[in-house]
Structure 1
Amino acid sequence: MLTDFNNLPDDSRVWIYQANRKLTDDELAIIHDKTAKFLEAWTAHGTDLEAGFELKYNRFIVIGLNQENASASGCSIDASVRFIQSLEKEFEVDLLDKMNVTFYSGDFIAYKPLTDFRKMAKARSVSPNTVVFNNLVNTKAEYLENWEVPAKESWHNRFLA
């Protein structure tokens, strides 16, 4: 059951998928429609799941699930991963690789492999104050408060010298 992301409770579970490139407005329109259609039909053991989503910065798909009525099961999580994989294939984009870092570089959003981010930290091209996207947040409240944070306040801190 599709609901507005803003109406989900703060303890809703979230999954964040980051694209390895900026998505076009046309791609986002199609992704929006496909994601809405998927979430409208998303179930766990025959029970509708109350879920919403946001598309952020032409790069991120954020799915939220209200677990008060029904939680995602292994099968429903597998279905969501298959859905994301179908988007990857259709748009020739990587959405599932967690070994990449997205961060602000001035006014722009940069996307680098973790090894490159490490090198940039060592060379001081990124600093403890560089704002990174912490895609490991688990709840809507964490997403709203701790998703865009200085690297020193995230797991990225381990790469800063």
Structure 2
Amino acid sequence: MPFSPQSRVWVYQSNRRLNDQEARDIQDKLNEFAATWKAHERQLLARAEVRYNFFIILVADENQAPVTGCSIDTSVRLIKEIEQQYGIDLFDRFNIAYKHEGQVIVNSKEDFETLVNIGQVSEDTVVFNNMVQTLEELETKWELPFSESWHAVVFSKK
């Protein structure tokens, strides 16, 4: 069944790259979770994935059943368990992810700002907008050139 473009999306970014085995193990956990994720005893149409060995993406299509506070709490518990098990931080919103020579790199906000100021991050550098909220936004506004993202406003060159 195809997911609605308006399906809700949550993006969690790791502070470090997961190795391939960790990514596979986490993907298995996510598959199991998505297959059993419920809201008020109603099965959610959901999927989850590890992308680029840095991101965990949860998708729930509310056309089948609406996501509730309790179901969101359940997903946050899963993410926290993954954090603990793999020694990663998935809630630090001050880490910025971008692509350099085809590779995803995550830096602190301060280090990213320095890279912008010295020209290592250009107008064309692809950055990740983890604030996307729908599947449509994930597909069209998640990976953007720096110049078209919120990053360009926050990290304007001094």
Q: State whether TM-score is above 0.5.
A: yes
How far residue 107 of structure 1 moved from its aligned partner, in angstroms, is 2.4
Report the TM-score when normalising by structure 2: 0.93
How far residue 118 of structure 1 moved from its aligned partner, in angstroms, is 1.4
State the alpha-carbon separation in 2 of the partners of residues 101 and 115 from structure 1.
9
Say what the alpha-carbon RMSD is for the aligned residues. 1.3
Residue of structure 2 in register with 1:101 after alignment: 96
| Contact 2:30/2:49, CA 8 A, preserved across alignment | no
Q: Does 1:115 align with 2:118?
A: no
How far residue 24 of structure 1 moved from its aligned partner, in angstroms, is 1.3
Runs of at least 5 residues in structure 2 that lack an aligned partner in the other structure: none
Runs of 4+ residues over 2 Å off in structure 1:
none
| Partner secondary structure for residue 102 of structure 1 | strand
State the alpha-carbon separation in 1 of the partners of residues 142 and 46 from structure 2.
19
Residue of structure 1 in register with 2:156 after alignment: 160
Residue of structure 1 in register with 2:141 after alignment: 146
| CA displacement, residues 97-139 of structure 1 (integer Å, 9 cap, x when unaligned) | 1111100112221101112211221222212211101111111
How far residue 50 of structure 1 moved from its aligned partner, in angstroms, is 0.8
State the alpha-carbon separation in 1 of the partners of residues 118 and 52 from structure 2.
27
Task: Say which is worse superposed, 81-90 or 44-53, in terms of deviation.
Answer: 44-53
Residue of structure 2 in register with 1:13 after alignment: 8
State the alpha-carbon separation in 1 of the partners of residues 72 and 100 from structure 2.
33
Number of paired residues? 156
| Contact 2:35/2:47, CA 8 A, preserved across alignment | no
Which of 49, 53, 60 is the matching residue for 1:58? 53
Runs of at least 5 residues in structure 1 that lack an aligned partner in the other structure: none
Which of 96, 114, 129 is the matching residue for 2:124? 129
The percentage of aligned residue pairs carrying the same residue is 39
| Contact 1:8/1:52, CA 8 A, preserved across alignment | no
